[in-house]
Amino acid sequence: MVPKLGYSVSHKTQTIGSIFHITCSLEEGSLPVFFEWSRNGQTLKSSPDVNYKIENFEMHSTFTIKSIERRDAGNYSCLVNNGFGSDGQSLYEFFFSVEYESTQWTTIPKLGYSVSHKTQTIGSIFHITCSLEEGFLPVFFEWSRNGQSLRTGPEVNYKIDNFETHSSFNIKNAGNYTCLVKNALGDDRHTVLLSIKAPKLAKHVSHKTQPIGTYFQIFCNLESGSLPVFYEWLRNGQTLRSGPDVNYKIENFKKFSTFSIDDIGRSDSANYTCLASNGFGSDNISVVLSINVPKLGPAISHKSQIIGTVFHIMCSIESGSLPVFFEWSRNGQSLRTGPDFNYKIENFKKFSTFSIDEITRSDSGNYTCLVRNALGDDRHTVLLSIKGPKLSKHVSHKSQSIGTYFQVFCNVESGSLPMFYEWSRNGQSLKTSPEVNYKIENNDMFSRIIIKKIETKDAANYTCLVSNAFGSDRQTVLLSINVYIPKINSIENHNYSYMPKLGSIVSHKSLSIGKAGSSPVFFEWSRNGQTIKSSPEVNYKIESSKKFSTLTIDEITRSDSANYTCLVKNSLGTDSQSMLLSIKAPKLAISGIINKTQPIGSNFQIFCSVETGSHPLFFEWLRNGHQIKSISKEVIPRTIHVLQGITSEPIDYLFYYQLK
């Protein structure tokens, strides 16, 4: 058994020069035990060079300072351990602080503070220490129980140890124990009452509801109290005795008792009481056993599923007396299992299951499970509905420039096939034909509308309506057109001669220069500082007129990325202007969805659409940071027309995966 220390005071206030004494007493635990003292966390050891004294005994240890000084103030801790280890219940630290008071020294003996009452169980160790706090030495100690003087001897069950400044007492009997200390000038005394504990039972559930035929058991556990303890069982106030003619069993042990019924019947419903007693008192606990009608456990009340999926319901009893019987019905009509039906019913001792391997449109309805026994019944109903389509979330607004590529996806997250799609613009139905500038593509689980080059007239609300035999869903995307108003440079009309001045470069594909300056003027072009000239061997064209010059590349390549400079000069001076041509990195269209939560078995799709960027483009997919090389389901690359050179037309890649 791990060691447990008895209670002691946690604070002492004494005067300088008085006696400081602490006792660390073992209340229970396996011998041998080892004591260790510390002050302010620092271990203390006895030696001739210190002003304190430590004395260790079999079941207690003492720490004494005969004459305390100012430096002795602190927290004093006693640690006890044995070979069984320690935990929060077996390690006790007691802290004492020494403070200072300007009181007059007295020579009459005065005892230190101690507890006045201890309640313990039979068999535990009772130890008290009578410590001199101040007084003229020598002093003499006397012990008494209930007023009768006690003397140590081989015939008694207690032990008294007297020391110069304290006396200790070990005993195992109840009573009032008094310590008297005296010297030639006077005396002092302190009394401790030792009580033996009455039994205390551990808390227990007060009510049990069980079905007929189950096993019923109650434990009556002694939490504390002096042994021996005697147990008695009662049913509705009547004492019970074990015997061959009864259906219950009582087993008594040293610190607990059990009551059990192997197979409870209706007549066993009652109030069962355990009474525990010893020579010092008693305690009891009661448990009510109820026999009930069947009660079904909690279950869902509605299931919405896709045609062709498995429909399964379980009807489980939470409580109730056996045997129980199950019945199933659909829309109030009783159901029976047979080879001509597409459903299956399986009944067990405490539950029943109903299943349809592949549901059809006609299976939609209310399914009810009824459970009953001889005492009553309970029921639960589940509505099976066939799913209408549900669309995934999508962006509700797109703002694009004239001439860019526009597309909207209509993705079905769940629903029974087949699906039917219908697109409309501002409420007017849209159909694909050679005369229109849009294209509609329909798939089993998604549809999309595409406009390769949007115009001003295409600004509108585009709505996708998806429907099946059980319902519909829709979503709308507003397309806004970004309109840029051109700004014309002011024209200066003067007859004076001046240096040429270039206007701004306004085109990315065709570079045009010209604004002001005295004629004649001469233009010169360079790329990255190197002069360039038109010729049949190059992919660019330079055209100069009286007041402007243009550089054109019909089809730019990666090598055309450079800094292009136009230099204009006349007889009075020069001017120049440069433009950096960059090849665009890809930019993905904003999907608007960064998180999807879907049920197992539903259709999961992601669209990766490039809004702008230079061709060719390379796609790579990753899952949790790991590249996906190939998957078991369909991966559909979409082939679309890509303009030569830099294009604003999206290039998309469809990732389609059926979750299992």
Tell me: the pLDDT tens digits for 378-420?
A: 999 999 988 878 888 888 899 998 889 999 999 998 888 889 9
Q: Is the pLDDT of residue 6 over 70?
A: yes
> 488 in a domain, yes or no?
no
300-334 pLDDT, tens digit each = 899 988 888 899 999 999 877 788 899 999 999 99
Task: Tell whether 95 and 186 lie within a shared domain.
Answer: yes
Residues of the chain above pLDDT 90, percent: 28
Q: How high is the pLDDT of residue 101?
A: 41
- Could you tell me the pLDDT band of residue 630, with boundaries at 50, 70 and 90? low
**β-pairing verdict for 140-145 and 148-150:** antiparallel
- 549 and 424 assigned to the same domain: no
Alpha-carbon span 498 to 512, nearest angstrom: 21
DSSP string, 208-262: EEE-TTS-EEEEEEEEE-PSP-EEEEEETTEE----TTSSEEEEE-SSEEEEEES
d(CA 131, CA 128): 10
17-26, 340-349, 609-618 — most confident range:
340-349
- Give the burial class of 580: count Cβ atoms within 10 A of its Cβ; 0-12 exposed, 13-18 middle, 19 or more buried: exposed
Distant-in-sequence, close-in-space partners of 249: CB < 8 Å, separation ≥ 6 = 242, 258, 259, 260, 261, 262
Q: Which pLDDT does position 493 carry in this prediction?
A: 37
| pLDDT category of residue 658 using cuts at 50, 70 and 90 | very low
Number of domains in the chain: 6
Residues 124 and 220 in one domain: no
What's the whole-number average pLDDT of the chain? Answer: 80
Over residues 164-175, mean pLDDT: 68
Clarify whether residues 379 and 401 are in a common domain: no
In this structure, the answer to whether residues 136 and 31 fall within a common structural domain is: yes
| Cβ–Cβ < 8 Å for 321, 373 | yes
Total residue count of the chain as it appears in this document: 660
Sheet strands side by side (includes 549-553): 510-513, 549-553, 540-544
> Sorting pLDDT into bands at 50, 70 and 90, what band is 351?
very high
- Let me know whether 143 and 287 are in one domain: no
pLDDT band at 94 (very low <50, low <70, confident <90, very high): very low
For the whole model, what pTM was predicted?
0.33
Same domain, 327 and 233: no
Is 99 a residue whose pLDDT tops 50? no
Least confident of 193-202, 319-328, 649-658: 649-658
Residues 378 and 407 in one domain: no
Task: Look at residue 439 in the predicted model and tell me its pLDDT.
Answer: 93
What integer pLDDT is reported at residue 512 of this predicted model?
44
In-domain check, residue 34: yes
Burial group, residue 562, by CB count within 10 angstroms (0-12, 13-18, 19+)? middle
- Asked if residue 130 and residue 63 are part of one domain, the reply reads yes
Report the pLDDT averaged over residues 145-155.
Answer: 85
175 with 41, same domain: the answer is yes
Question: Is residue 156 in some structural domain?
Answer: yes
- Taking residues 255-268, report their average pLDDT: 90
Q: Which residue has the higher pLDDT, 251 or 502?
A: 251
Q: Write out the residue range of the structural domain in which residue 101 sits.
A: 4-196
What pLDDT sits at residue 517? 53
Q: Quickly state the pLDDT bin for 501 (edges 50, 70, 90).
A: low
Q: What is the pLDDT of residue 650?
A: 46
Last residue of a domain, one of 291, 325, 340: 291
Q: Does the pLDDT at position 341 exceed 50?
A: yes
Q: pLDDT band at 502, cuts 50/70/90?
A: low
Closest CA to 142 of 179, 87, 99: 179
Q: Which of 531, 550, 581 is the last residue of a domain?
A: 581
The residue with greater pLDDT, 537 or 133, is 537
Q: Are residues 525 and 619 in the same domain?
A: no
Q: Do residues 205 and 257 both lie within one domain?
A: yes
Residue 309 lies in a domain: yes
Mean pLDDT of 282-305: 87
Of 523, 547, 581, the position where a domain reaches its end is 581
Integer Cα distance of 293 and 376 in angstroms: 5
Domain containing residue 366: CATH number: 2.60.40.10
Calpha distance 207→195 (Å, rounded)? 34
pLDDT category at 106 given cuts 50, 70, 90 is: low
pLDDT for the residue numbered 593: 64
Assigned domain for 610 exists: yes
Q: How confident is the model at residue 465 (pLDDT cuts 50, 70, 90)?
A: very high
Residue whose tokens read 């009509």: 333
Poorest-pLDDT segment among 119-128, 179-188, 309-318, 456-465: 119-128
Mean pLDDT of 113-138: 76
